[in-house]
Amino acid sequence: MTASVTDATFADEVLGSDVPVLVDFWAEWCGPCHRIAPVLDELATEYEGRARIVKLDADNNPETARKYNIMAMPTLIVFRNGEPVSQVMGAHPKSKFRAQLDDALG
């Protein structure tokens, strides 16, 4: 299952992580966000120990969303060593998110 992060925990949970982190910038009102949620939960289980998947509610955490120029939801950014390394906007098949994670894992 995916974990949640906030403006207050983002630096520790994402930027300070020793494994790549896929951040799902989402909102409660976003239909595509809800459609990809089960896929992200599956990937969180598949990549356990190698990568993390977290969700950040962009409406309730505007500071982080603004910092990364989130203009549409869902936007998914993979961070490695505290830096964004890939970004995807919109709902995509599981294979697209898996490819993002695999690329980050090198």
Q: What is the mean pLDDT of the chain?
A: 97
**Mean pLDDT of successive 10-residue segments in the chain (106 residues)?**
95 98 98 97 97 97 97 97 97 95 94
> Other C-beta atoms within 10 Å of 13: how many?
18
Please give the pLDDT value at position 95. Answer: 95
Q: What is the reported pTM?
A: 0.96
Beta bridge mates, 87? 77
With beta carbons less than 8 A apart as the criterion, state whether 20 and 79 touch.
yes
Name the catalytic one among 5, 22, 33, 56. 33
Check if 33 is active-site.
Answer: yes
Please give the pLDDT value at position 43: 97
Third-level CATH fold of 3-94: Glutaredoxin (3.40.30)
Q: Which of 5, 21, 30, 40 is catalytic?
A: 30
